[in-house]
Structure 1
Amino acid sequence: MANRPKLSVHPQATDTFIRIPRPQRVLDLSRPLVPTKSSLLEAHLQGESPTDTNTIGTKDASIPTTFDANKEPLQASFFPLQAINIKSSQKRPRDNLKSLENLGRFTQDTVEWAVQTRRGHSSLIMVKKLDRVVGIKEEKVLEQINHKNIIHLNYVLEDADSLFLGFEYCRVTLREILHVHLRLEELHLQYIARSIFGALIYLGGLGIVHHNVGLRTIRVVGHDLRVVLSGFDSATQNASMQYSNTDIVDLGFVLLDCMEGHPQSAEKKRVRYIEEQRAMNKVFGLSLPERWSGCKQLIDCLDDIFSENRPIDVKMLKPHQFFASQSQDAACLRPFVELVTLECYTQWVPGI
């Protein structure tokens, strides 16, 4: 048999697949754990020390335990079971505590979430702990809502001081998507814009104003890649007012952040600044305007959003055709969701 030619190996190729050890649980629980890349990212987003954010596997009294009505809860448990009531409605059937199992917790933008699953089901639930007064306010808004592009509230638990809202699992935020090494393009922005615009139309019909449409409150549901609006703690309801210009303008700034590739400064998030840039024939003050020069529908839609000459009812009831397109498939966001998992929560070296 003829000798096979030997392959030359690039000097850097030998380092490509070197196993990077993941942080493991420290046997001595009195010692701190090595921060993961997830904790470092959280520290970067929140401007805090990495040791003040997520650590993995710590076993202390504040970590949520498995729901078991027959057991006494830990004194500082995330979910105190004593004197707890399950609030239910026709939209949210009564949950059985024994069927819910806590898997762990994570902190995102200073908000602590617990992750649960129902025994016998494959879906996950995100649970947020709120002050009772704030939680009741958010619950009153959410219990009226049933829309595919608004986060779904599964159940509500309460005790004397707190409220626990259980949502469908949608861990990934649009802010995290902007951290990956893959740029959003016009088709992605159109899918996001159409989804949130549909949610705002629905909310307007109920007289609800969100007041906090942004990168942190727009999420992607993992299993079907729906874009949903969350974070209703600042929402208000006024039956006499159908639509608010605040939310649609905030959606416009979200689209500009996506075009820029990162959150812009507060100085640039003013309608007056946008008008000044357009008066100088500039593309909204973007650093790389040429990248979007061929996206006429997107540019026209943003002009429509920020225009003070068009009443809000006209903007919402006769929307720009950019919002009306149905050509975008939810699968267009799958690479971004996968990359968020790789780049934000694991040790990952991007190739670009």
Structure 2
Amino acid sequence: MSKKIFSGVQPTGNLHLGNYLGAIKNFVELNNDLENDCIFCVVDLHAITVKQDPKELKNNIRETVATFVACGINPKKSIIFSQSSVPAHSEGAWLLSCVARMGWLNRMTQFKEKAGKDKEKASIGLFSYPVLMAADILLYDSTHVPVGEDQKQHLELCRDIAQRFNNEYKVDNFFKTPEPLIQKEFSRIMSLKDGTKKMSKSELSDLSRINLTDDKDLIVNKIKKAKTDPLPLPSSLDELRERPEAKNLLGIYSSLLNSTMSKSISEFEGKNFSEFKEKLSEVLAEKMDPISKEIKKLMNEKRFLDEILLDGYKKAYEISFLKIKKMHEIIGF
């Protein structure tokens, strides 16, 4: 059975290995499945919940598209567009916010984490972000959404909003309730400097992450300097519980090779980190260096990237406009 898949990536610049293994690599596999209809959105409206430099944002939108293409997403098979170019996303978010409930949003743990102790100073956009995410998904009758652990709660909220709208306006199945697509055998990618923290572009040290624009030499240098512990590589999964850096590096190796952690552990058990890091650097450079070169090449082809966005906008606008039009009729506008 064919799947209608929607997913988005924020254009925050410096996409890194965590973004690739956690999302984009999976997007490519979904795109390559002939039975899937995929929509990949550059979610720039979500990005402005945090202050952005306008010139950088424009460049980051193009860089996100370049990254999609460089990693192997075919823009002729999938729809690629920027969220802000399609007005239905903003309007849909408002219409859905009138059926969503404050209590539901108050339970969102990601808002609590991002807003910190002083919630009064957080923007309304940061608070209502999950309603916009629901609009993104529901406008396209998406059946499946690739999500990580940190977004599962938002997808549950999306399903609640869809059901509430359907019930309140007595329109059975007008909004589909999408299912999550969760990667199997995927390890969350953590900082190269601290295995207890998620890999992030906001971390001050560039040595904490592998950027998708890093060249081969930089990748090798960063892995060489990655934090480890003094023990040899473990012989079982149980031994990794108290060894976050070993777990992270083995997870990266396994994810790159579409392998299991158990298989990687059996390959390197008892060996020292220098030997393992050499092999990990080799695999990383082989997989990531061509992507880095292609991103840099595409960033010099702005017209090509803008044409992808324009083509995607036309297709996304047509689908979403019809959904909004039907919402107007249902609501009584």
How does the TM-score come out when normalised to structure 1? 0.29
Higher helix share: 2
Higher strand share: 1
Bigger Rg over Cα: 1
How does the TM-score come out when normalised to structure 2? 0.31
